[in-house]
Amino acid sequence: MKYEKYKDLYTQFLISEKNLSRNSVNNYLIDLDQFFFTDDTKVSDLNAKIKLYITNLRKKNLKISSINRKISSLKNFLKFLHTEKIIDQIDFKEFESLSNLKKIPKAIPKVQMEQIFINLYNSKLANKELYISVLKLIYLSGLRISEALNLKWSDINYQDNSIYVYGKGSKERKVYIIKDFLDYLKNFDKKNRFLFMLNNKKISARSVNKFLEKCYSDSIINYKLSSHVFRHSFATTMLENNADIRHIQKLLGHSSISTTEIYTKVAKSMKKRILDSYHPLKNKL
């Protein structure tokens, strides 16, 4: 089977049908290139090659998540070829992923988060207000960083304080946000199409995270944070306030409730830390 012959076809499929970013597509292709390192692989030998490849991956000193990602990349590519009737002799049972205990995402309690925002305003970095506004939006709505940065002025409905969000796989959802923050956004320059722009260009997720990194290195904040922490903290705070997990699932745009259930573990661990720290009989028994 000539891999290069179908590589471009699969690339177009990922972009046009799966709506993946160019960066995500490149990551898929890197994984596939590692498998198809030979010029040609006969279909009759493909199952043996897959089995050996997966065995060798598991022998390497790689994270389980990295192994599973590489296995998933290959599996999805071969499924595509199978659907297109290019190959028909694949044993997909070989693609069982390793058990992958999902890491409990980092989350920050509300009081600490409020202090972080206060501290961020002490930064002397240019355009800090714009970056802080992005982070506030994520914390108040649970949006992904990519979703926040892709927001257009036409996505905001001031009548019911909502935002239309276009998430993974072009799925659309409606997210509500407090009126005070939407009123604050009205002060932004609306001549541009997107909410968060610098020099007529949409700001990147990397620039937001670099702002946080610089605040940490400058001792403006005491935690090494990424924009994802603000989304995690939104979900955890909602759970702490007894919001229904199904509603949180919709707000976060999760396809599966099992993904959202990770945050229940975060909420429980936060409660335990608070109990351990502030119980009146701590260290007295």
Q: Which of 3, 6, 139, 263 is catalytic?
A: 263
Cα–Cα distance for residue pair 69/92, rounded to 1 Å? 15
Active-site choice (18, 49, 228, 250): 228
**Active-site annotation holds for 3:** no
Catalytic-role residue among 70, 75, 231, 232: 231
Q: Which of 75, 136, 232, 254 is catalytic?
A: 254
Catalytic residue check, 254: yes
What is the DSSP code string of 114-149? HHHHHHHTT---TTHHHHHHHHHHHHHH---HHHHH
CB 206 within 8 A of CB 240: no
| 231 a catalytic residue | yes
Spot the catalytic one: 70, 75, 136, 144.
144
Catalytic residue among 168, 173, 214, 250: 168
SS3 label, residue 34:
helix
Collapsing DSSP to helix, strand or coil, 53 comes out as helix
- Known catalytic membership, residue 144: yes
Helices (H), the chain: 3-16, 22-35, 43-59, 64-83, 110-120, 128-141, 145-149, 179-185, 205-217, 227-240, 245-252, 257-260, 262-278
Indicate which residues carry an active-site annotation. Answer: 144, 168, 228, 231, 254, 263
